[in-house]
Structure 1
Amino acid sequence: MGSILHTILIIFCSFFVPLAFCLVSLLLIKMIESCKRKEPLPEKLPLPPGSMGWPLIGETFQLYSQHPNNFFATRQQRHGEICKTHLLGYPCAMLASPEAARFVLVTHSHLFKPTYPRSKERLIGPSALFFHHGSYHTNLRKLVRASLSPFSVRRLIPAIDAASSSTLHSWNGHILPSFRAFKNLSFDIGILTIFGEHFVEHLGKTELRQNYFILDKGYNSFPNCIPGTLYSKAMNARKRIGGILREVVKERRVVHGGMKNFQKDLLSCLMEWRDDKGEKLSDEQISDNIIGVLFAAQDTTASALTWVVKYLHDHPKILEAVKAEQMAVYELNGGGSRPLEWAQSRSMSLTHRVILESLRMASIISFTFREAVADVEYKGYRIPKGWKVMPLFRNIHHNPEFFPDPHKFDISRFDASPKSNTFLPFGNGVHSCPGNELAKLQMLIFIHHLVTKYRFEVVGSNSEVEYCPFPVPKHGLPVRLWSVADEDGGRA
């Protein structure tokens, strides 16, 4: 008995004591930061109305224990389009109108900088595009945006076509969580976008995939360096990814003589980029931005595709209309014997409206974080320097003033363009998503192959939502898939 107690005591001391120490340290740091923020501020204008919640933790528990519709909507109903709260250790101003979103993201964006927890910057890399504001961000964004423009992504259609077909073929006859399948698909398309056709296995594609998913799994975990924790594993995977990417860059420089024979994929653009002084990006900066692009593209597109499949399943008449539109394209291409063309993807207007309404309903990016770089006045209220500012995309997308009966799936909303700043699935302004054209193209191509060659049904209930961290149907929306060719056998 004594030895058992001794063993338990050792386990307790080796794990729980360091964990408790980390928690206490974090709380102390937050208290010190909170004290620093309590410097006198001009009292000319009142702070926004609202509650700051409990000391230190604020309303963080309420945010993560409720559906975001409930958390944000109740505060908007109680306080109006601007209110204060305290989340993740920081005072915040929540803004829930199109005018406010435009104020923060466009007209007065110079007063608000992007902000992310330091633990997340370490995992992605501090030089990643979306952590920055100013000239570095402006110049690098132009480069990324050019490599992901419609003109650039159209050359990827055959590769996206092949990747979508391969995903569906491996799914045929099985039940798989849609979200997991779409994460793999989005990763493969991200690799094609960044490295083109040149990223072969001997350069570490399989190893990169394995380590990236370890990093992805630990991204939203509690940040500590205790060996064996998700965050610790993610940090180790990040180091290995950096090594793989350095080898890829070295290979391309040495073997291919400065990329002269390469198409303009994102890697070649990053390697050729020079600033006004002629300085190039370091290997570390290139790695950070590659990982940043992979991360930004993967979960959001995978979540969006998962919701599209759910809404198509839940609305059989819309599914039949989408199928009719896609079958017309399919027949023009000789029953699928020829690949899709760019012009055909631009003609899928009904399918495009389904995607837009899915993005509105799901509101995968519920809000974004900015930080006030100075005291800011908005509609008679003062937002102090250092406060986090949260434009609430979900509230805007679900506001009946802009979208009547907002919880109804209605693709006719997009027969005409929505009112300015009321539809923001990819953000707005200088930090809007530069890859939105690629994301929509990927969804259009996948839907084309899904409805023309396969049948599917959702397995189990699809009414519950989970967050990983973006909202997806519970359990990743398990779906049974079977090809039209062997439809009767697939149902058995």
Structure 2
Amino acid sequence: MWPIGFCVVALATIFITHWIYKWRNPKCNGVLPPGSMGIPLIGETLELLIPSHSLDLHPFIKKRIKKYGPVFRTNLVGRPVIITADPQLNNYIFQQEGKLVELWYMDTFEKVFGLEGEARPNAVGHIHKYVRGVYLGLFGVESLRTKLLSEIEQTVRTNLHIWSTKGTIDTKKSVASMVAIFAAKCQFGYDFENSADDVTETIYGFVHSLMSFPLNIPGTRFHKCMKDKEKLQQVIRAKLKEKLSNPNHQGGTDFLDHAVKDLNTDFFLTEDFFVYATIGALFATVESISTAITLSFKLFAEHPWVVEDLVAEHEAILKRRENKDSPLTWDEYKSMTVTMHVVNEVIRLGNVLPGIFRKALKDIQYNGYTIPAGWAIMAVTCTLQLNPKIFKDPLAFNPRRWKDIDAETAAKNFMPFGGGQRQCAGAELAKAFFATFLHVLVTEYR
């Protein structure tokens, strides 16, 4: 038996060694960018998921840029990835949407949002155009001007009043709940005051746990995320069925009203599609706005002169009104120059994600290197926003810097809502919500 056992061990050793070699040296029809593929199966995922407590680039990315340059390879959750902090390559990638690249999400997002098949919400073409068109109609400039701005103001006033009656609050959780109430109403008609179930805790738990290692076993953050997702699915699906079963349903202004009207009129317009698209929009809305507002509290405490600038602008708005208690108007919102400088500066420093993901559909040649077809690409756009050539002392919080930055320079070096065809349809909503929050905060509270 000894010779047989020895042969088995030897073969296993050869197989594992060969497998590890192939893992560390993936095939490529050219020269791969420098980098490391990390540990088999896990790659370098764990280091990327470690929270960063700095406004600077994530340590995972900063360390590798210093070692390998602005374009390097790695492996995240078993997926080979090219990470690029090169502005020229990033802009080229965004311009190639639907040609050389398509949108791609990490496994966590794919498992949560059901991003599979031709009808996945991240698909290119008329599927993407449909979703983007609907959300621009719901949350775009015209909707904000005629309806949503006043609803945002009322939501903010109600929540700030509640916070002021408490000794302390968990800022991120409280802000996320405030945004969740508003987003749930706009997206699937959730009535917070008259509903038996409070979905705000579920939405917060889902959003809070999404950026975790996709290990779905009891006790893990991802398992909690999946449980909260299931609860959200049930609520949204029940709301959709309620609308569908009502023969007198006249339609309204939320996303599910479009589902009632458009369901099954195209191959991808299924109940599952609308449920997953709603959950995805909830995550994007709640996480982006709550992160920015939460960060602003910290930055304002450290820079009281910024609050003084805000107070001066918003008190001037109140003085110009005939009735001081009248609601915020669209013209007043558009006049908030100082406020938008503050919003831009907070967003510039408060990047939610380390990068924007795409997937190479064909081999991409760049600067002597090859990005293989099928590989994921993570474009690190925040390097633009921390470029000392454009933003002097880039880690300093200085909203006044925006007075000297022209629109063209900002467009090329400030991409907090993505770029190309995939620029976030909720960008104007996020800015309007943030600005309205600041308006109520500095005019009525200390």
Question: Which bracket does the TM-score occupy, shorter chain normalised?
Answer: 0.7 to 0.9
Q: Which residue of 1 aligns with 2:178?
A: 185
For structure 1, the residue ranges without an aligned partner over 5 or more in a row are 1-27, 456-492
Deviation of the 1:161 alpha carbon: 0.9
- Give 2:139's aligned amino acid: L
Q: 1:306 to 1:214 in 2, by over 3 A?
A: closer
TM-score (normalizing by structure 2):
0.84
Q: 1:330 to 1:181 in 2, by over 3 A?
A: farther
- Give 1:257's aligned amino acid: N
CA–CA separation in structure 2 for the residues paired with 1:284 and 1:32: 39
Aligned-partner SS, 1:131: coil
- Give 1:167's aligned amino acid: N
Q: 1:75 to 1:223 in 2, by over 3 A?
A: closer
Residue 42 of structure 1 pairs with residue 29 of structure 2: yes
Q: 1:240 to 1:75 in 2, by over 3 A?
A: closer
Q: Which residue of 2 aligns with 1:116?
A: 105
Q: Which residue of 1 aligns with 2:83?
A: 94
User: Which of these residues, 165, 169, 180, is aligned with residue 176 of structure 1?
Assistant: 169
Contact (CA 8 Å) 1:253, 1:259: kept in 2 or not?
no
- Give 2:298's aligned amino acid: K
Deviation of the 1:432 alpha carbon: 1.8
CA–CA separation in structure 2 for the residues paired with 1:397 and 1:370: 20
CA–CA separation in structure 1 for the residues paired with 2:300 and 2:192: 36
Contact (CA 8 Å) 1:103, 1:109: kept in 2 or not?
no
Aligned-partner SS, 2:72: strand
Residue 310 of structure 1 pairs with residue 298 of structure 2: yes
Q: Which residue of 2 aligns with 1:104?
A: 93
Residue 145 of structure 1 pairs with residue 136 of structure 2: yes
Aligned-partner SS, 1:377: strand
Between 345-354 and 133-142, the greater mean CA deviation after superposition: 133-142
Matches for 1:266-281 after TM superposition, within 5 Å? 266-273=255-262, 281=269
Q: Which residue of 1 aligns with 2:443?
A: 452
Q: 1:35 to 1:335 in 2, by over 3 A?
A: farther
Aligned-partner SS, 1:421: helix
Q: 1:35 to 1:130 in 2, by over 3 A?
A: farther
User: Which of these residues, 360, 376, 380, is aligned with residue 372 of structure 1?
Assistant: 360
Q: 1:380 to 1:274 in 2, by over 3 A?
A: farther
Calculate percent identity across the aligned residue pairs: 28
User: Which of these residues, 328, 335, 354, is aligned with residue 340 of structure 1?
Assistant: 328
Deviation of the 1:286 alpha carbon: 1.5
Q: Give deviations 1:212-255, integer Å, cap 9, x for gaps.
A: 33433442344445456544444344333323222212322343
Q: Which residue of 1 aligns with 2:157?
A: 165
Q: 1:219 to 1:53 in 2, by over 3 A?
A: closer
CA–CA separation in structure 2 for the residues paired with 1:228 and 1:69: 27
Q: Give deviations 1:80-103, integer Å, cap 9, x for gaps.
A: 332222333222222113222211
- Give 1:395's aligned amino acid: T
The aligned length equals: 419
Aligned-partner SS, 2:412: coil
Q: 1:35 to 1:83 in 2, by over 3 A?
A: closer
User: Which of these residues, 244, 260, 270, is aligned with residue 253 of structure 1?
Assistant: 244
The two structures, once aligned, show a CA RMSD in angstroms of 3.0
Between 248-257 and 438-447, the greater mean CA deviation after superposition: 248-257
Residue 353 of structure 1 pairs with residue 346 of structure 2: no
Contact (CA 8 Å) 1:121, 1:131: kept in 2 or not?
no
CA–CA separation in structure 2 for the residues paired with 1:316 and 1:144: 36
Q: Which residue of 1 aligns with 2:422?
A: 431
Contact (CA 8 Å) 1:271, 1:286: kept in 2 or not?
no
Contact (CA 8 Å) 1:53, 1:59: kept in 2 or not?
yes
Q: Which residue of 1 aligns with 2:10?
A: none
Deviation of the 1:357 alpha carbon: 0.9
Q: Give deviations 1:238-277, integer Å, cap 9, x for gaps.
A: 33332322221232234362424x3x332222332378x6
Contact (CA 8 Å) 2:209, 2:225: kept in 1 or not?
yes
Q: Give deviations 1:288-317, integer Å, cap 9, x for gaps.
A: 111111111101110011122222222122
CA–CA separation in structure 1 for the residues paired with 2:362 and 2:92: 14
- Give 2:181's aligned amino acid: D
Aligned-partner SS, 1:176: coil
- Give 2:180's aligned amino acid: F
Deviation of the 1:419 alpha carbon: 4.6
Contact (CA 8 Å) 1:52, 1:84: kept in 2 or not?
yes
Aligned-partner SS, 1:369: strand
Deviation of the 1:363 alpha carbon: 2.4
Aligned-partner SS, 2:65: helix
- Give 2:431's aligned amino acid: K
- Give 2:35's aligned amino acid: G
Aligned-partner SS, 1:113: strand
Aligned-partner SS, 1:92: strand
Q: 1:165 to 1:94 in 2, by over 3 A?
A: same
Q: 1:113 to 1:341 in 2, by over 3 A?
A: same
CA–CA separation in structure 2 for the residues paired with 1:34 and 1:428: 37
Q: 1:246 to 1:407 in 2, by over 3 A?
A: closer
CA–CA separation in structure 1 for the residues paired with 2:90 and 2:49: 23
Q: 1:162 to 1:32 in 2, by over 3 A?
A: farther
Q: Which residue of 1 aligns with 2:44?
A: 59
User: Which of these residues, 422, 432, 435, is aligned with residue 441 of structure 1?
Assistant: 432
- Give 2:347's aligned amino acid: L
Q: Which residue of 2 aligns with 1:215?
A: 206
CA–CA separation in structure 2 for the residues paired with 1:440 and 1:446: 10
Aligned-partner SS, 2:387: coil
Q: Give deviations 1:441-475, integer Å, cap 9, x for gaps.
A: 110111011111111xxxxxxxxxxxxxxxxxxxx
Contact (CA 8 Å) 1:84, 1:94: kept in 2 or not?
yes
CA–CA separation in structure 1 for the residues paired with 2:111 and 2:361: 22
Deviation of the 1:167 alpha carbon: 1.1
Q: 1:55 to 1:364 in 2, by over 3 A?
A: same
Q: 1:214 to 1:362 in 2, by over 3 A?
A: closer
Contact (CA 8 Å) 1:273, 1:281: kept in 2 or not?
yes
Contact (CA 8 Å) 1:125, 1:289: kept in 2 or not?
no
Q: Which residue of 2 aligns with 1:480?
A: none
Contact (CA 8 Å) 1:368, 1:391: kept in 2 or not?
yes
